[in-house]
Amino acid sequence: MRQIIIGVLFILAGFTSCKNESKIETSKTKNKGLITKKAMVVSARVEASEIGTEILKAGGNAFDAMMATEMALAVCYPYAGNLGGGGFLVYRLADGTKGALDYREKAPLGSSKNMYLDSNGEVIKDLSTVGIMSVGVPGTIAGIFEAQKRFGKLDIATILKPVIKLAKHGYIITNKQEERIASYDSIFRAVNEKEILYNNNLKAGETIVNLALAETLQRIADNGRDEFYIGETGKQLVKYLQSKGSIITLEDLAKYEAKWRSPITFQYDDLSITSMSPPSSGGICLNQIMTMIEPFDLKDYGHNTLKTIQVVVEAEKRAYADRSFYLGDPDFIDIPIEALTSTVYLEDRMNNFSFKNPTPVDAISHGKITGYESTETTHYSIVDQYGNAIAVTTTLNGGYGSKLYVDELGFFLNNEMDDFSSKPGEPNYYGLIGAEANSIAPEKRMLSSMTPTIVEKNGDFYMSLGTPGGSTIITSVLQTILNVYEYDMTMQEAVNAPRFHNQWLPDEIRMEPNSFNEKLIQQLEALGYIINQTRTPVIGKVDGILMLDDGSLEGGADKRGDDTAVGF
């Protein structure tokens, strides 16, 4: 089951040739990312971008490439790529039709509102974030099959073949991966009570093979979606879960379904922006923030200047305060989407904004905060040679999710239950607070911040983008769009540019360290803003694709990770 090949032994002959071919028709200039004529995949790992591109070259479309890319990330980016998690897809077909698919995890049937509280009504530390009780019912396999069934062109065996090969022959550990795996070594041992595949002092340059995952993927290729939900794999998964004390049952798996949703669509100047609807907060918050900042002349203020940061931060504050109160699973609660995104409401919301000083957080709403976040989750964007574009963000929640690794099946399980509000007013892992709208109930989907987004300009496809980063996802997507549109950056420059973040509570502006000049920080502090440059050294890892005026594509693969654009 477990096998690690030390040294760069098999460097995937197939992928090497594919890699060379993929880049043959491309060019790179100093400030631009990869430019291609027809199609592109940008993801957190070169192997996943290459496999997605290979599927496009085989005649597949963006939805076939989605399945291949997502599963390849599950193999070579287990930090966030997954079979044991969930995600969201936003798409724009070549004819301009737009839509969204929700394959978010669900609370198990046996869950209950106060399941993470002790007898005194206090939140039990770590119960929703680490280990067996943190696991939600996974949605990823249902999601990729649902999207491929509706729009894909190829057969599943063809799509999964290169992914299975990747799991069998292995992939090379990068420097960043070595660091991550090493830092999780002790928690993997503690949670799993034994060594797992990733407890092997893995070094950059070594090749790691996951035969258990290759077998799981082969069964899924042979038997389809149901293999994971009612087949042998599902049964093995539930046996494993229950042996650890999980409340997830075969019925939970059997009842899981991905859901087509109407995305959130709104205008910002001549851009039309389509993003994810609830149970993600991404689209609504992005809509609110962009509508609140639209009346201000950000271009004139300049990129990351005092005035720009003030306007954006104050809009973010107000949107995140609404998020914590109003948003949750739309199948369980009524969300006043129209009211929350109406121009009248949002103008009123910014009424007490002043360049003279920050609006106190208490004047916006109330809450208490202590927690923070790390970056996890992963995003990929694909544009195919037929003119379809997709933006997909997928997650296990925390890095390696619950840290529980199913040895027999070769994948980690999510800790997505922490995205519910365990107790109104109490912060989750991201420091986000929630209310009744996001309380736990059987079969409910937990609120997300994932913001896979497609942007059109004058009616044509313009950009596909998204990012990991928990609560910072929304603000990273926002800044990247503004960087391209308001500040004329290339896609790569827009992705590379330093980022800041405000989420109402805690009452602070997080800024990437060593990225903003001291004078600017002093000016913000003099106005009364609290600046935190230490807690989130990396804000988001944005991947995106921009359509240039001549119809070619530019990839923006975030330098903060191993992210890579590949195409033709």
- Please list the active-site residues: 377
Expressed in angstroms, the distance from the first to the final Cα of the chain is 36
Cβ-Cβ contacts under 8 Å for 171 (sequence gap 6 or more): 12, 45, 47, 75, 76, 207, 208
Position of minimal CB gap to ligand GLY? 448
- State the angle between helix axes of 156-169 and 62-76 in degrees (0 to 180), rounded to the nearest 10: 20
H or E segment and range at residue 463: strand 460-466
Of 119, 191, 131, 114, the C-alpha closest to 426 is: 114
- Provide the minimum distance between the beta carbon of 80 and ligand GLY in the complex, in angstroms, as a whole number: 9
22 vs 472, beta carbon nearer ligand GLY: 472
Cβ(538)–Cβ(176) under 8 Å?
A: no
Minimum distance between the CB of residue 347 and ligand GLY, rounded to whole angstroms? 28
Binding site for ligand GLY (CB under 6 A): 377, 395, 397, 419, 448-450, 470
Nearer to ligand GLY, 71 or 450 (CB): 450
Instruction: Specify whether the backbone of 193 is left (phi greater than 0), alpha (psi in -120 to 50) or beta.
Output: left
Backbone angles phi, psi at 379, to 5 degrees: -125, 145
Please identify, using beta-carbon distances, which residue of 377 and 502 lies nearer to ligand GLY.
377
Q: Which is closer to ligand GLY, CB of 395 or CB of 483? A: 395
If you ran DSSP here, which 8-state letter would residue 224 be given?
Answer: -
Closest CB to ligand GLY among 218 and 503?
Answer: 503
Secondary structure, 3-state, 508-546:
CEEECCCCCCHHHHHHHHHHCCCEECCCCCCCCCCEEEE
- Whether the ω angle into residue 279 lies within 30 degrees of 0, i.e. cis, is yes
Tokens 């897809």, residue located: 89
Nearer to ligand GLY, 80 or 202 (CB): 80
| Rounded-to-integer distance, Cα 190 and Cα 197, Å | 14
* 189 contacts 201 by C-beta, under 8 angstroms: no
Q: How far is the CB of 450 from ligand GLY (least distance, A)?
A: 5
Query: In angstroms, what is the minimal distance from the CB of 163 to ligand GLY?
Result: 24
CB of 34 to ligand GLY, least distance (A): 28
Separation CA 107–CA 416 (nearest Å):
9
Q: What is the enclosing helix (H) or strand (E) of 151?
A: helix 140-151
Residue 315 has φ and ψ, to the nearest 5°, of: -70, -40
- Closer CB to ligand GLY, 284 or 553, in the complex: 284
Minimum gap (Å) between residue 30 Cβ and ligand GLY: 34
CB of 264 to ligand GLY, least distance (A): 15
